[in-house]
Amino acid sequence: MYAVQFDRFGPPGVLTVGPFPEPHAGPGQVRIRVRAAGVSPVDAALRAGLTPASQRITLPHVPGVDASGVIDEVGEGVTGAAIGDEVFGAVDVARLGGASAEFAVLRFWAAKPPALSWEEAGAAGTSVETATRALDALGVRAGTVLLAAVVAGGVGNACVQLTVARGARVIGTGRPESHGFIDRLGATPVTYGPGLPGRVGGLGRVDRALDVAGAGSLPELVAIAGTPASVLTLADFAGPELGVRLSLGELGGEPDGRHGLAAAAALAGEGRFRVPLREVFPMTRAAEAHALAAHGPRQGKIALTALPDSGDHR
């Protein structure tokens, strides 16, 4: 198959598109012919060798964890999925990547709703799973007031929409230039940074707080929420030192939020969930997509579209 890949860590220019061994669906998995794949800041950091996960992958490596496409292989034990189904989800975590390719093996998935384009669905999987996992862990339900920092990115905007769908209220932090975007998602925007308790104080009570981006705001979030037990971080490894839970999904041995994909798909069909796209590139321009993903402002997702056929991968 063709695939975006890199054989050494470095800047976006290390990415190439060329032949790569096809993956195949194992037990509990499905393989898709990819129609679109997401590109996130995490993908860019992995390619650059800037995360601990970079040391656990085998080179050459196919980047990307989110994808949408059409099932063409069904692994042993899989029920409720068939060849020809249109789905979206995330790649097999054991492969630590592989979505930016002609074929990809999904570890979890849901039916792609007609309301989402291939590109929107292809960029949504892990953001929805992560947001759902966080909201479940915090016990967010109807009537809850959640303070979420920072929400303009993919996980953040999924979190806002899923929180609102639960009947809860969201106060979302972000840069001033992101406030209009945050408001349109359904959250009350406030500027992030030092002095946050003073800016949030006039907005009423806060029941729970979620640190999406690991921007060093945990002490202030604890002060606002009242107790470390009411705060969850997705990205700050100093959280446990403050008594704050750190959620790492399957890597942390905790329940995941994959059930959120079906919920998001249903909400999309009702016009209550969308995947804002920042920009879409063909896979032949994956280096440009990675360069963009590494820099803000991050309002919406970046997606790669599959090549029209597998005949010429140069």
CATH number at residue 298: 3.90.180.10
State the average pLDDT for the chain.
92
240 shares a domain with 153: yes
Both 45 and 114 in one domain: the answer is yes
- Which CATH number do you get for residue 163? 3.40.50.720
What pTM, to 2 d.p., does this model score?
Answer: 0.93
- Tens digits of residue pLDDT in 49-75: 988 888 888 999 999 999 999 999 999
Q: Provide the number of structural domains found in the chain.
A: 2
Q: State pLDDT tens for residues 104-126.
A: 999 999 999 999 999 999 999 99
Q: For 280-291, what is each residue's pLDDT tens digit? A: 999 999 999 999
The lowest-confidence range among 43-47, 73-77, 172-176, 252-256 is 252-256
Has residue 254 got a pLDDT over 70?
no
Give domain status of residue 266, yes or no. no
Which two tokens mark 281?
């590139």
Q: What is the pLDDT, as a whole number, of residue 210?
A: 98
Beta-strand runs (E) in the chain: 2-5, 16-19, 30-39, 66-74, 86-91, 103-111, 145-149, 169-174, 188-191, 208-211, 231-233, 245-246, 277-282, 301-305
